[in-house]
Amino acid sequence: MPSSNGDSPHSATATMTTAAGAAGVARQFPLPNRDFSIEIPSPQLAAGANGANTLKSPNSLKSARTPSFSREGILGSAQKARNLSQPSDNRPESIANGIPKSTSEESINPLKRRNTDAAVDYPRRRATIACEVCRSRKSRCDGTKPKCKLCTELGAECIYREPGIKLDAGDKLILERLNRIENLLQMNLVGHANGMSLSHDSPNMSNGTGLSGDNLMMPNPSNFVSVIPSGGLGTWSATATNISTMPKVHTNAALHLLQWPLIRDLVSRPYDPQILLQLEMAREPLHSLAKTPCVDLSNTSAYIEAYFDRVNVWYACVNPYTWRSHYRSALSNGFREGPESCIVLLVLALGQASLRGSISRIVPHEDPPGLQYFTAAWSLLPGMMTSNSVLAAQCHLLAAAYLFYLVRPLEAWNLLCTTSTKLQLLLMTPNRVPPDQRELIERIYWNALLFESDLLAELDLPHSGVVAFEENVGLPCGFEGDEQEAVGRDDLWYFLAEIALRRLLNRVSQLIYSKDSMASTTSLEPVVAELDFQLTQWYESLPVPLQFPFTRTMLPDPVQTVLRLRFFACRTIIYRPYILAVLDNEQAILDPAVRDNCTKCLEASIRQLEHITAHHAGHMPYLWQGALSIVSQTLLVMGATMSPSLSTILWSLVPHREAIDQIINDVVMEIERYAVLSPSLSLSAEIIKEAEVRRRAFLSG
């Protein structure tokens, strides 16, 4: 178990520590231009004392780092998997069939091959293969292709079934071994496509088969991609274009845990996972938006400063070098027309909101800070609705950001759909975007994709289609403009880190939680190992000022705090299926790999919940999403306390048993404070409160 002095959650296989004082380093970097580059080494495997592979500490790698940072480095764990969707008819025949041709059923057993060959020397009077029609009519088939005589006379479709060969136990064992090798090779190719080499760096993924990444190095001259068999985990279809997008059907949402064994006993009635969406759809609209806007412009400089200091770090979508010209345009129009007026008002709204702390601590029935500016901007949005400019898309995105702050996820989604439509129209023909706005549209695009992915993780909403352009949109590099005009920093590093982590979170949903992905813990193991390795590599690629320490204490830096919470949330969902396996069958814990992975999952859950007020650091962009993440991790911990084997693991992760009860109690009180903000969070608070009452009753016998 990691100690409280900063050990990484990779306690079973690796140790990660961060440089002392990383939390206190200021995030001020000279922003690179579009030509900058850097190399950040990947984590390396070293042989441990017992011969096992262990991941080297980040500190052992820092001396090898070059002194600058890049988009490529920070996004190392999220490079695009471009080759994952080759149709089977474009792949080499040996792979398209699922098993290499040289090791097909016909060639596995030489004796069977000789018997098959021998049959050629003794022709039979009946056709070797009868078509389906002749089989059903029990008629003699003449074997003529493409149509036999009978099917020709009947005008029927003539289908020949390929001959089968019965497999003995040895054949099946070999085929299972080949399938496992193919799974590992698939993950190896995924690693290569994402800028990683599984065979060199990833954890040993063998499970009693004697196979490891090092045993499987092989050239890949054709860059082919095979398909994991349908019985395996994470099947890629030929139509999928990117595994780093949210699947249209998945079981990753918080309320899906209410269908798990033991956890479902904590609620008095079953809940449809769609209930949160239904509640948000039936919600009363914002009445204040119908009022005539009344705007106080006496304190704008403080709110603008607050925006660039506290808000733009999350979204990075307002250029501090062109801000003054925007403000002058808005002022000349009296803040009554034009996209510049709308953008300025939304910046003022978000800036004022950032000065008040978490909206969950604002007095009920009091107007939230920034609402007067947002109302004024809202009155200008109809004019932006029919405009397909980059600035019109920026207006809708910033308005969606403020609605997320107000915990209005569905209203924010409606604006995001409009943003998505404008983006797609602009990106369909690249010359539609003026050169001086290309950096801006890239940032608007990635914000829209991040927002949409967060919503799709919890709500069954239609996909906007904006993800189709992901392969063609570049990554942010840095705004340009007159530096003397800058009103704040262009803080880009958090934004890049969040893009990479969101893509990894989407990959987890695709490979583990999509409708065809759930499988046995054995088939789960190589996928989980690779995803956890990519999460580690994401952490390793962070610039040092963002590389949060793994201490058990709260951090003073809000960016590090949010990244650490997102890290543990991602790690929890990577390993969560192992908790389900044990809740479903306590005997599963007897497998050392299952026990180890359950420990990793529960440890990450505890780390996300142990300082509940730390989540306030991300309440501007993530309150609603973060609250549902808290609820899902708490339900997971509750279920674990009711399992004899999982509860034993839990007690080893906290100083004393009462600590778990205190953590859960703190969560219940915190989520109750959110209940007034949203009907979906109100229901979540009711569920978590009832679950805790029932859990205590269960444990008391």
Over residues 41-68, the mean pLDDT reads 34
Would 511 be classed as within a structural domain?
A: yes
Provide the pLDDT confidence category of residue 150 given band limits of 50, 70 and 90: confident
Give the per-residue pLDDT at 165. 44
Tokens of 426: 């602009």
Residue 534 covered by a domain: yes
pLDDT digits (tens, 9 = 90+) for 519-546: 677 888 999 999 999 999 999 999 999 9
Q: For residues 492 and 544, is the Cβ–Cβ distance under 8 A?
A: no
Which of 219-228, 431-440, 533-542, 600-609 bottoms out in mean pLDDT, i.e. has the lowest?
219-228
Q: Is residue 509 domain-shared with residue 656, that is, in the same domain?
A: yes
Q: pLDDT grade, residue 155 (50/70/90)?
A: confident
The pLDDT of 296-317, averaged and rounded, is 94
- Judge if 577 and 673 occupy the same domain: yes
Please give the helix or strand (H or E) that residue 560 lies within, else none: helix 558-584
Tokens (6 digits) for 91: 């792949």
- 482 & 613 share domain: no
Query: Over the chain, what is the mean pLDDT?
Result: 76
pLDDT at residue 391, rounded to an integer: 97
Query: In the structure encoding, which two tokens stand for residue 116, read together?
Result: 């098959």
Taking alpha carbons only, the member of 508, 620, 606, 603 closest to residue 562 is 620
pLDDT at 251 over 90: no
Residues 16, 539: Cα–Cα separation, whole Å: 10
Give the model's pLDDT for residue 597: 96
Task: Give yes or no for a contact between 42 and 196, defined as CB atoms under 8 angstroms apart.
Answer: yes
In a domain, 470, yes or no: yes
The region that residue 440 occupies, defined by phi over 0 for left and psi between -120 and 50 for alpha, beta otherwise, is alpha
Domain total in the chain:
2
Q: In this predicted model, which residue has the larger pLDDT, 108 or 629?
A: 629
pLDDT bracket for residue 364 (50, 70, 90):
confident
Rounded to 5°, angle at Cα 249 from 196 and 624: 85
**Percent of the chain whose pLDDT exceeds 90:** 53
Host domain of residue 663: 254-261+495-699
The encoded tokens of residue 557 equal 């830096």
Q: Can you tell me the distance from the alpha carbon of 197 to that of 189, in angstroms, rounded to the nearest whole number? A: 8
Same domain, 466 and 594: no
Q: Please provide the DSSP assignment of 158-208 as one string.
A: --BPPPP----HHHHHHHHHHHHHHHHHHHHHHHHHTT--HHHHSPP--SS
Residue 54 scores a pLDDT above 70: no
* DSSP H or E run through 45: strand 45-47
How would residue 55 be classed by pLDDT, with cut points 50, 70 and 90? very low
Question: Distance between CA 646 and CA 389 in Å, rounded?
Answer: 54
Task: Give yes or no: residues 310 and 435 share one domain.
Answer: yes
- Separation between Cα atoms, residue 198 and residue 220, nearest integer Å: 13
- Kindly list the distances between the CA atom of residue 255 and the CA atoms of 31, 192, 688, in Å, as whole numbers in the listed order: 42, 35, 11
Q: Does residue 301 share a domain with residue 342?
A: yes
Domain identity same for 480 and 569: no
Residue 39 domain-assigned? no
**Does the structure show a pLDDT above 60 at 475?**
yes
- Residue 135 within a domain: no
With respect to residue 354, please indicate whether it lies within any of the assigned structural domains. yes
Q: Which residues pair with 6 in a beta bridge?
A: 550
Kindly state whether residue 616 falls inside one of the protein's structural domains: yes
Angle among Cα 296, 306, 560 to the nearest 5 degrees reads 150
User: Model confidence over 609-623: pLDDT tens digits?
Assistant: 999 999 999 999 999
Residue 516 has a pLDDT of: 64
Cα gap 242→511, rounded to integer Å: 11
Secondary structure (3-state) at 14: strand
Confidence check: pLDDT of 564 > 50: yes
Residues 382 and 478 in one domain: yes
Neighbouring CB atoms inside 10 A of 197's CB total 14
336 and 444 within one domain: yes
State the number of CA atoms in the 13 A half-sphere of 590 facing the CB.
4
443 with 524, same domain: the answer is no
Whether residue 196 is contained in a domain is answered as no
At which of 443, 462, 487 does a domain end?
487
pLDDT band at 446 (very low <50, low <70, confident <90, very high): very high
Convert the pLDDT of each residue in 382-399 to its tens digit.
999 999 999 999 999 999
Give the tokens for residue 198.
């599984």
Q: Which residues make Cβ contacts (< 8 Å) with residue 627, sequence separation at least 6?
A: 615, 671, 674, 681, 684
Name the DSSP class of 250.
B
pLDDT (average), residues 603-610: 97
> Which amino acid is residue 230, in one-letter code?
S
The pLDDT value given to residue 678: 95
Q: pLDDT at position 168, please?
A: 52
Single out the residue of 694, 700, 643, 698 nearest to residue 668, CA to CA: 694
Residues 444 and 510 in one domain: no
The per-residue pLDDT for 242 is: 73
- Asked if the model's pLDDT at residue 321 lies above 80, the reply is yes
The last residue of a domain, from among 444, 471, 487: 487
CB 69 within 8 A of CB 38: yes
Most confidently predicted of 122-136, 185-199, 232-246, 264-278: 264-278
Amino acid 105: pLDDT: 36
Residue 217 confidence (pLDDT) above 60: no
Q: How far apart are CA 282 and CA 94, in angstroms?
A: 54
pLDDT attached to residue 377: 95
Q: What does the pLDDT read at residue 286?
A: 85
| pLDDT for the residue 416 | 96
Q: How far apart are CA 362 and CA 359, in angstroms?
A: 5
pLDDT at residue 366, rounded to an integer = 83
Instruction: Give counts: helices (H), strands (E), the chain.
Output: 26, 4
Q: Over the stretch 451-465, which tens digit does the pLDDT of each residue have?
A: 999 999 999 999 999
**How many angstroms separate the CA atoms of 391 and 389, rounded?**
5
d(CA 242, CA 506): 10
Q: Give the pLDDT band of residue 140 (cuts 50, 70, 90).
A: confident
CA nearest 441: which of 406, 392, 407, 481? 392
Chosen domain end from 487, 507, 531? 487
**Does 469 lie in the same domain as 501?**
no
